[in-house]
Amino acid sequence: MEYNFREIEKKWHEYWIANGVYKVTENKDKPKYYVLDMFPYPSGAGLHVGHPLGYIASDIYSRYKRLQGFNVLHPMGYDAYGLPAEQYAIQTGQHPEVTTKQNIARYREQMDKIGFSYDWSREIRTCDPEYYHWTQWAFIKMFNSYYCNDEKQARPISELIAAFEQVGTEGLNVACGEEMSFTAEEWKAKSDKEKQEILLNYRIAYRGETMVNWCPELGTVLANDEVVNGVSERGGYPVEQKLMRQWCLRVSAYAQRLLDGLDTIDWTDSLKETQRNWIGRSEGAEVNFKVKDSDLEFTIFTTRADTMFGVTFMVLAPESELVSQLTTPQQKQEVDAYLERTKKRTERERIADRSVTGVFSGSYAINPFTGEAVPVWISDYVLAGYGTGAIMAVPAHDSRDYAFAKHFNLPIIPLIEGCDVSEESFDAKEGIVCNSPRPDVTPYCELSLNGLTVKEAIAATKKYVAEHKLGRVKINYRLRDAIFSRQRYWGEPFPVYYDADGMPQMLPFEALPLQLPEVDKFLPTATGEPPLGHATKWAWDAAAQKVVETAKIDNKTVFPLELCTMPGFAGSSAYYLRYMDPHNDKGLVDKQVDEYWRNVDLYIGGTEHATGHLIYSRFWNKFLYDMGVVCEEEPFKKLINQGMIQGRSNFVYRIKDSNTFVSLNLKDQYEVTPLHVDVNIVSNDILDMEAFKNWRPEYNNAEFILEDGKYICGWAVEKMSKSMFNVVNPDMIVEKYGADTLRLYEMFLGPLEQSKPWDTNGIDGVHRFLKKLWALFYGNTESLQITEAQPTAEELKSLHKLIKKVTFDIEHFSYNTSISAFMICINELSSLKCNKRAILEQLIILLAPFAPHIAEELWHVCGHTTTICDAPWPQHNEEYLKENSVIYAISFNGKARFNLELPADMSREEVEKAALSHESSAKWMEGKAPKKVIVVPGKIVNIVI
């Protein structure tokens, strides 16, 4: 019987849906296992073959764990908000919701064809009000919370207000934007507006001034990863740095807990290190510098207070509010010009760029350790968000300070004995300190570090700073608060309105969800408001409308609503929790449901989310843990980053000034131009010439110079892109070879975590493997050929070798080697002409996670009436793997001369006797008695003559 994959796959798709095979509920009689994919943004282009790589990997593991007896949660949904849909709406006038729904339908159709075991009854879409209801709810919770550093958790803002009422800021140790000091009496004397402004300094969700990537053309703030080389990734529009009042989340309050949590989860060392570097914990001191001839002073943070004696200038970030305060009238024009240039560069570009630029402010600061006046410069190599936005420059021992000092001819003072700073800075992490204090400067303080090691000097300086009230010892983090506003339409609305004083207030929970209203334009308003400024009526359900009317909340008269929307990561930060309980209208997730599923056991997605989504999601989860909403502090126990499938481009070679194309190996005989050609009309690098002529009108009359009657294309590995015509649609592969072939081939391309090129040249071999498997059951007949005969030792050995290998490989995500093992086993069983039920049924259970359609079909033709998904996973038996005999290499004076097969359980003495008595040994011994015989059991016998 022919292997009719189209008929088989259609049949089992329908069966799985009709019988709810993948629907899952909580079951306390089974251990749980939660497998999650990073859910996709549904673009209009649909899936290409690179997209399903991680989904196939997670599906294999989900099916495997189910076969092992686990209750597996494996959901899927859509990250449905985003700028692409909004930009398309601006260009065409079509509502983003319409295109998003169309794109989702396309994605679903494609994913269904591949045979994923998703429980689609749990599908979520971030643009669904039933979903973002709970994003809005979490935001309100964050607004009504502050972070207590003593208790290391979020607490109700009402507790902080009560403390202010009783003792003011005395003894306060909480996360905040700036340090404040006031008494209870001073607090009580403040107006309500003043109190609200102070509380914004402590709330976990707050409005604050922050530097953003502003794109005037798009009319919105962009995240760092949405900006490339100073322009927007989408559209290529100029982006500038701009100080704006934005909604922010106080992620920085959780910095230490985010660091500590990395020690409790099973992530790769490289990913953990990326997050540690992003969080950037550093221990040091804040030191106060007075401004010469002024009452002003400012603070710097340094991890190396011991280098204070080597400070020769100060540097401010261009965005620092100190710039305007310290710039003298004489320098203003030059400073303004510099600021105008730097605002067009993102922080990421500034970090990467090592060129030296800067401008003198005109002011000087007094070094509190030497009394010297040092110039204050402005340069974009200093960032406003790290530390205080101002640094003390020690050019002798910092490479960027050194380059700056050399460029602007500023002093360089070494502080380590014997170091040479004539050509470059010296890494001062070790050594003996000198020039502290400097012999050429009148002693200004009693501290002397000369003769101490660097470690001793750091400790002594920090102690001196604290004791003499020059600043304070402090732990600092590079991690900054998340900007949470976007001036876009297509995003979650904020549950925020503004009172008569212009202060933000939260909608009551009963009014949620505040739904995204209709607008007639998706661009900012004429007065510069975000697109929601065009809304004339906001969307409330009937219950919420009563709450709104009672509270007298009206967008156009008394209380205006927030016109910004939340960013993309708002909807993706806690989505794993909603999958647990997607239809709950009373809460984000039921407590008992959460305590059953707890957190994600296996999360699969790309490395590009290491410092965005994965940081924010961990923060969001920790906040919900503090609120008692979830029972686990970390959301993702194990994380696997799948590699990327790159495109394999094909080229044709057009002879100059003609419409003639020459085959690859003849092209050097002509002057040619290589052109990308659609890889879907190329097979094994051989061009379908008729399809090429019909591909584009300009090629209708194309002529070809062939080799051996074929046109052979060139090739290269490039990013999969429509512009390179190397995008391969999985639908085409499924139509031609079947979904099981696609699944196996994507896993067979190489290790899951490595990037690899897509190359259809090998897909035929995978398809032949499935046909060979089919032939084990049917042979060349139309009927099933399975027998009930007992397996032979060779058949059992082949099967159990496979069970052991595949089980190990799946646990270690080494899917490519599993598929190789399947191919070897099928070849062995085919050679043995095996058709034993005891062997073949176990074989298809092993294959079911990889190729579920053919496995389900063969399982049922073998007489089973329930799905193969619930069969027990096979266990290997070591007894079947024992070797009865081994091959010894027989060597003479270290040189192998012949092989000898002997029983595996033969003793050393018997092996030695057999080797010496073998007829071939006589030739090499030449009648001599051996001086020594060395036996390595199971491997070699070396006879020394």
Tens of pLDDT, residue by residue over 381-439, are 998 766 678 999 999 999 999 999 999 999 999 999 999 999 999 988 899 999 999 88
Cα 312 to Cα 290: distance, rounded to the nearest angstrom: 15
What confidence tier does 549 reach under pLDDT thresholds 50, 70, 90? low
Average pLDDT on 116-124 reads 97
Checking DSSP bridges between strand 227-228 and strand 231-232, what pairing results, if any? antiparallel
Q: Which residue in 131, 383, 241, 267 sits closest to 615, CA to CA?
A: 267
Average pLDDT on 563-578 reads 95
Taking only the tens place, the pLDDT of each residue in 282-338 is: 999 999 999 999 999 999 999 999 999 999 999 999 988 899 999 999 999 999 999
Cα 374 to Cα 369: distance, rounded to the nearest angstrom: 12
What confidence tier does 722 reach under pLDDT thresholds 50, 70, 90? confident
**Distances 216 to 310, 486, 527, 761 between C-alpha atoms, Å:** 43, 13, 13, 47
Residue 30 one-letter amino acid: K
- Beta-bridge partner residues of 245: 209
pTM score, two decimals?
A: 0.87
**Percent residues over pLDDT 90 in the chain:** 78
pLDDT of amino acid 119: 98
Q: Where are the beta strands (DSSP E) in 487-621?
A: 496-498, 504-506, 602-605
The 3-state DSSP class for residue 733 equals helix
Residue 927 or 789, more confident: 789
Cα 169 to Cα 184: distance, rounded to the nearest angstrom: 8
pLDDT of amino acid 682: 93
pLDDT of amino acid 313: 98
Crossing angle for the helix pair 739-748 and 5-18, to the nearest 10 degrees: 100
In a 13 Å sphere around the CA of 646, the CA atoms on its Cβ side amount to 13
Checking DSSP bridges between strand 932-936 and strand 940-944, what pairing results, if any? antiparallel
